[in-house]
Amino acid sequence: MRDVFKDLNDEDWENFAQDVLFHLGYTIALGPSVGRDDGVDLIVEKGGQRFIVSCKHHQKAIGVSQEKDIRDRMELNLCSGFIAFYSSSVTSGLKKKFNKLRELDFKVVEYYRINILDIIPTMMGFVLEKYFKQVHDLYHHVNTGMVYKPLPCVMECGCNDILSKEALPWSMVTLVKKGNKLCFEYGCKECLGNYPEHNIGFFEPEIIGRFDFVEIYWMELSQIRFFEEYFKWRDLIDLCLEYLEVVPDDDFYKNFSIFNMALMQIMVPQGWGVWLPAEYEVTTISLMSI
């Protein structure tokens, strides 16, 4: 992996530390501030303990001279723990100092570059997008060396690219069972939501009468660009074709192919976060039926 931290400044690093620690279950008691902080970049709490956080963003290993008076800083801020959040590593001298503090019953938690890189894949993608160009650039379609191809709304509403940064949060992909046909469509949420065959509430009696059963499955484009969500979507297609007693409609495979080719341009690389952690995810696919 390239040096993903090199473009962050010191302020970015402190804010990133706050997001990482919050993700790890810490409560933020005091967030980053601008200007002199007297050796306390953050104060966090977890498990009944209070920690000062020292954020160091350097290429070289952090040494004793850069972490002075750790015990005094903890006691001054009524803390019993210290968290080192470093973008590099630590010298043996500072490591010994940390161990000495542990012998005095202070808790010392260390997060170095290698640890932080292991944490990143478990974080939510929208948080990572605040800090890393590799994720930001996905909106500018750098996943491919070929000429970028926009994806217009299939409803021909005038939206010429539902994958653009502006349109992406307001776009979706749908599977619609209409009678014995399965339709694959993509576009603006408003278009697909207002299209009668996609919204049960808008059905006229004569439209409902055309079909024995209508089901609508959908996924947001901001969700499906994460690989684990995309695979769930592919599994759903297989399940629908196997168990719903349907056949693809005439445009199914054409729309499916166009959508997949376009989507690959903005997929979030594996290891760069998740759409939602499993504990927050209620469902990734919604179903409406009559």
HEC string for 116-141: HHHHHHHCEHHHHCCCCHHHHHHHHC
Same domain, 231 and 271: yes
Residue 21 forms part of a structural domain: yes
Residue 219, phi then psi, degrees to nearest 5: -145, 140
* pLDDT score recorded for residue 95: 96
The CA distance from 148 to 165, in Å, is 14
What's the Rg (C-alpha) of the chain? Answer: 25
Instruction: Kindly list the distances between the CA atom of residue 54 and the CA atoms of 13, 70, 280, in Å, as whole numbers in the listed order.
Output: 11, 9, 30
Q: Where among 92, 122, 152 does a domain terminate?
A: 122
* pLDDT score recorded for residue 288: 38
* pLDDT score recorded for residue 122: 80
Residue 4 forms part of a structural domain: no
Q: Where among 69, 96, 122 does a domain terminate?
A: 122
Return the number of other C-beta atoms located less than 10 Å from residue 259's C-beta: 20
Q: Where among 122, 147, 176 does a domain terminate?
A: 122
Domain limits at 95?
Answer: 10-122
Residue 129 forms part of a structural domain: no
The CATH number of residue 39's host domain is 3.40.1350.10
Residue 63 forms part of a structural domain: yes
Residue 51 forms part of a structural domain: yes
* pLDDT score recorded for residue 165: 81
Ranges under pLDDT 50 in the chain: 1, 136-144, 196-212, 280-290
Query: Phi-psi bin for 47: left (phi > 0), alpha (psi -120 to 50), beta?
Result: left
Same domain, 154 and 117: no
- Report angle CA 63, 68, 73 to the nearest 5 degrees: 135
Same domain, 208 and 175: yes
202: Cα separation from own chain's centroid: 33
Same domain, 69 and 158: no
Residue 104 forms part of a structural domain: yes
Same domain, 277 and 143: yes
Residue 144 forms part of a structural domain: yes
The CA distance from 21 to 4, in Å, is 18
226: Cα separation from own chain's centroid: 8
Residue 109 forms part of a structural domain: yes
Q: Look at the chain and report how many structural domains it folds into.
A: 2
Sign for the CA dihedral angle at 171, 173, 177, 180 comes to positive
Single-letter code of the amino acid located at 18: Q
Same domain, 200 and 267: yes
Same domain, 164 and 274: yes
Tokens 């059963």 correspond to what residue? 213
Same domain, 211 and 67: no
* pLDDT score recorded for residue 58: 92
* pLDDT score recorded for residue 7: 85
